[in-house]
Amino acid sequence: MESSLEDNDANVIADLENLVGMKIPKLRSIKAGITGLYSFGFEEEEHQVIALSLRGRNISSLPSSIHKLKHLQRLYLRDNELRTIPEGVCKLPNLLDLDVFNNKIESIPDSIEQLQKLERFDLSRNFTSQIPDTIGNLRNLKRLGLMDVQLELLPDSIGKLKNLWDLAVFINKLDTLPDSIGEMSGLIRLAAHKNNLSEIPDTIGSLSTLKELYLADNKMTLLPNSIGQLKELVSLRLDGNQLTTLPDSITNLSHIKGLNLTRNKFTSFPVGMKRWIERLEKGGCRVRMDKKQKQRRTTR
């Protein structure tokens, strides 16, 4: 497909072609059909680059000229050798989607906050044990992927992300979640399974829009009573923890369609547990419990 880029954008593409050692094709769409993966190439609109994918090119850096792609909205750099987010990327004023999945990124510059239009940021499968406080200034962020990055701590500033609806922090080393997580008023999905969580903050109950809560394979021994305030919750995974009981308030959750309580250490259940489970199952909920748990809850 013939390209007719403006000189400025054409020069940047030329710099990138020198970097990867081959011609970067112009495509109608860099998204590869139903697989959802991204093809190597770029999209053009009105002679300007609006989307760019350099997936799997073994690159460890980007040319400094990358910041000149002023109309770039989507940048896909997954499956490469990057060790940080290049400063030039942080100067792309119209960037909406940044995907650096599966690189070797060890740090994120504070200047990431300059991406004020960013809506999706996928940093998953890197080596970023810490996230800068400035992440909280990405006020338009809707989806944040931090899966399998050896993350040890989420900054308090995460609570500023009022428009975030999907937070993926599973397969990490988190011992706790910040109290400020309760301030994320738009959150719909929180995936924090496979960490080292021993508890979750009481403020979790403030997440009035939360529909999916995944806390499987942690080290939790108890849940806060405030979990009963999550009236919109439809999916709850608590399997693979060290829970011995559940708070009475859990029976307030009436919209659950998927509940997993297996692989815990339950010795008792709250009053009303049997009736609650029966109501959920009657409403089509798939309830997963160990055999001994099922026997025990019949008495309550």
User: Model confidence at 291, in pLDDT bands (50, 70, 90)?
Assistant: confident
Instruction: Give per-residue pLDDT as tens, 263-285.
Output: 999 999 999 999 999 999 999 99
- 3-class DSSP assignment, residue 88: coil
Same domain? 162 vs 270: yes
User: Are residues 283 and 159 part of one domain?
Assistant: yes
Q: Are residues 188 and 112 in the same domain?
A: no
Kindly state whether residue 141 falls inside one of the protein's structural domains.
no
Average pLDDT over residues 122-151: 96
Residue 137 in any domain: the answer is no
Short-list 5, 91, 107, 81, CA closest to 46: 5
Domain presence at residue 140: no
Q: Is there a domain that residue 98 lies in?
A: yes
Same domain, 158 and 288: yes
Domain count, the chain: 2
Q: Round to the nearest angstrom and report the end-to-end CA distance of the chain.
A: 68
pLDDT of residue 38: 83
Question: If pLDDT is split at 50, 70 and 90, which confidence band does 252 have?
Answer: very high
Domain interval for residue 257: 147-300
Taking only the tens place, the pLDDT of each residue in 177-205 is: 999 999 999 999 999 999 999 999 999 99
Query: In terms of domains, do 300 and 164 share one?
Result: yes
184 & 235 share domain: yes
- Say whether both 47 and 183 belong to one domain: no
The pLDDT value recorded for residue 4 is 86
| Assigned domain for 139 exists | no
Strand partners, 287: 259
- The first and second tokens of residue 85, run together, are 């987010």
Domain boundary among 128, 160, 185: 128
Query: What mean pLDDT is predicted for residues 232-244?
Result: 98
Residue 2: pLDDT band (50, 70, 90) is low
Residue 36 banded pLDDT, cuts 50, 70, 90: low
pLDDT at position 223 over 60: yes
Same domain, 118 and 157: no
For residue 58, is it within any domain?
A: yes
pLDDT, tens only, 87-108: 999 999 999 999 999 999 999 9
Same domain? For 234 and 299 the reply is: yes
166 within some domain: yes
Same domain? 185 vs 267:
yes
Give the CATH number, domain containing residue 118.
3.80.10.10
Residues 6+ apart with CB under 8 A from 21: none
d(CA 257, CA 283): 8
State whether 156 and 277 are in the same domain. Answer: yes
Q: Is residue 138 assigned to a domain?
A: no
90 shares its domain with 232: no
- Last residue in a domain, options 81, 97, 128: 128
Ramachandran angles phi, psi of 43, nearest 5°: -110, 145
pTM score: 0.94
- Alpha carbon of residue 70 to chain centroid: 26
Q: CB pairs under 8 A, 24+ apart, for 205-208?
A: 205/229, 205/230, 206/182, 207/181, 207/182, 208/232
